[in-house]
Structure 1
Amino acid sequence: MIHERCDLTLPTEYDSHWIIAYVSLAFVGLFYGIFGYRCWRLTMFITSFALSSLVIYIVLKTQPTLNEFQLIMISCSIAILFGLVNTLLEYIGLFTNGFCFGLILSIITFVVVHIKDQAAGTITTTTIWFVIGLILILGLICATLALRFQKFMLIIMSSCLAGVCQVLVLDYFLQLSTLFRFTHTILLLEKPPDLCFRHWIIILIQPIIMLLSISIQYSCTGRNYDHRDSWHKIISTGKKHYKTANLNKIRRHYERDTLRQQIIPDESNRFRHFYHLRRAHGDALSSDFIQNMRQQSSTAVCLTSNNTINTSPIIPTGTRPSRKTTDSTTTTLTHLI
């Protein structure tokens, strides 16, 4: 049995339906590895669609009245709606992708622990509730981290999914999904068959692809790109009179001390510059000019009262031009006061 499983000959018979499915999965993994962060909304849609369709298919599989075609159609139709919700609502999509990443980590952790116990010869009583609890704990932790560190977690999640997709494709074309059946047997809490050396080589491809994908996205496709600004650019497409403003950059620009000194050289003299501008353009009167006019008007009023009391009709010659000049200014002063 072990000799048959370790045979290095490639399989010759493939199912045409599974070939189409796994070739599509290979392209999806390539997309995850290169453009996983750049096209992050499409990444969230594909991940949410795959996760929801798988869960709904497993739930509906218990119904004996539905055939295979009906199960696939119902699962895909509901999964499309769920994928659109995760695409349009950013935080729900991030939470779902983070939970999917935690699901993958929990499965890998459980398989590694099971293989370690099997190699050590220790028998542990594991229940299905342990698997469910591990999935919930790691899923919620990764979902919370995805909401907090969005760019970092999006790149890590897409790179991990790229590695998983490529491992599944190689597992099918090289050994007809032996690793997939091995993992499924462990999750069912049954005794799995022994793995061969070539199986471990295929497993080691996953971290290699993951590291390569992280380096590509950080250095090329995800460099100088912020996913939080992409949705605003999509909304404002075709509206040339609306431009997206980076408010944080504007705040940092105006908080600089050099810019404040250019605008207001001396903050103690800002009102003096303000009044100079208003007096130069003629919008209103400056404070010095208003005070001078008030003094002249008070002097003119005092002189007029003295002239009415005195019987002498002599009027000082120096007061005539000031009376004429203050006629227009007194009207302005009454409005200003």
Structure 2
Amino acid sequence: MAVTLPYGTEEPALGLAEGDDCTLQINIMYEVIPTIVCTMCLSFGLIYCFFGYRCLKMVLFFSGFTFGLAAVLLLYHKEPVLNSRLSLETQAGIGLGMGILCGLITTLVSAIGYTLSGLQLGSMICLAVLVVVRQFCPLAPEWVPIGSILAVGILTAVFTLLWHRLFMILYTSVLGAATVMLCADYIVGTFTLPDQVYNIFSHDSGRPLCWFDWAVIGTFPLLSAVGGLVQWKWTATELPHKEGFHKKQKKHVPKHRHFVQGGRRPHRKRRPPPLKRYAGDVLAPSYIQSLQERRMGTGSSCSSISSTITHTLIDFDFETGSMVPLTASPTPVCAV
């Protein structure tokens, strides 16, 4: 029996033979919009699984975005009055706005982002375990699923705050594997895993899982382990912003920085401050006086000789850095 859809005709995904409910015969014409969404989610799931820790800021943003969007959708589900009074566009706008606001908060405040990521990690792991356990034994008390999910989520949130790198790698690999698992469930044509999760809280019996459902579920732990191992060994070795921060720190460290034993720096010999020289320091007053005496014709040979010697001494002292005052002139000795 075929079902007419807006984008084509969809045949039943499973050829249900009489007495055999687990015969897989994929004969389905997929709709356009759900197929595009499934393809995008599959791509994001693979990126999360193998390169999630490299895109840490994006992961924190989508962690808050999904939390805010899920909270708004749950509010619409629990309050039918809001669902009936608000139009579809208004509901979508409120959901997107709340999701973007929560995403910005988790991106800017890393502690909140790590806490939400840890809660989601514990919830996904606990839901997968509950789906498997429910196939073998009933979950009789109503508080068992909710209590176990809250307990595991809080525990993983605390561990994520303590060990960021390890549990964020686990979170990205588990979330990517869960997304790929749901996309594979849609491609197979059954899409029964969301119903199984809903039956846990509604306490409905539901249809038991078939062998191909178990095969789809088996991709979840396998892909989580492979993605976590790939990130731990290769893709999550060093973040780009941390690597640049370390390079900046190395640039500011001086190259010639040596320390002796005991942590004390060795004493260096300080150079004496350079002497300030002026243009008038070159000519001594006695030399200027001798020039004046020559000009006036009153000087003697002895005074000229002494002035020459004095000038030579002053020049020598200038070159060698002597601090002899310029007014002090040696007394000439002349033979009478």
TM-score with structure 2 setting the length: 0.67
Distance 1:246 1:82, change over 3 A: farther
Structure 1, unmatched stretches of 5+, are: 119-123, 234-242, 284-326, 329-337
Q: Does 1:126 align with 2:146?
A: no
The answer on whether the counterparts of 2:22 and 2:210 sit within 8 Å (CA) in structure 1 is yes
Map Cα deviations across residues 15-38 of structure 1 (whole Å, 9 max, x no partner): 333222211211110110122001
SS at match of 1:80: helix
Q: Does 1:202 align with 2:216?
A: yes
2:125: which partner in 1? 105
Aligned-pair CA distance for 1:265 = 9.3
Higher relative contact order (CA 8 A, sep 6+): 1
Cα gap change, 1:3/1:68 in structure 2, threshold over 3 Å: closer, same or farther?
A: farther
Q: Which runs of 4+ in 1 moved over 6 A?
A: 264-267
Q: What does residue 272 of structure 2 align with?
A: 282
* Contact 2:131 2:196 (C-alpha < 8 Å) held by counterparts: no
The question of whether the paired residues in 2 share the 8 Å contact of 1:98 and 1:143 is answered with: yes
Instruction: State the distance in 2 between where 1:204 and 1:5 align.
Output: 20
- 2:35 pairs with 4, 16, 19, which one? 19
Q: Deviations over 1:203-238 (max 9, x none)?
A: 101111112212221233212x047727969xxxxx
Residue 244, structure 1, aligned to residue 260, structure 2: no
SS in 2 for 1:260: coil
TM-score after normalising by structure 1:
0.66
Q: 1:70 aligns with which of 90, 94, 102?
A: 90
Q: What's the RMSD between the two structures over aligned residues?
A: 3.4
Q: Indicate conservation of the 8 Å contact 1:106/1:138, yes or no.
A: yes
**CA spacing shift, 1:227–1:7, aligned 2, 3 Å:** same
Q: Distance in 1 between matches of 2:241 and 2:141?
A: 43
Greater helix share, structure number: 1
Taking the aligned partners of 1:126 and 1:29, their CA distance within structure 2 comes to 34
Aligned residue pairs, count: 257
Is 2:145–2:200's contact at 8 Å kept on the other side of the alignment? no
What is the SS of the residue equivalent to 1:180? Answer: helix
Amino acid at match of 2:272: G
Deviation for aligned residue 1:186: 1.9
* 1:194-233 to 2 correspondences below 5 Å: 194-223=208-237, 225-226=238-239, 229=242
Percent identity between matched residues is 23
SS in 1 for 2:136: helix
Change (3 A) 1:11 1:75: farther
- Aligned-partner Cα distance in 1 for 2:43–2:214: 23
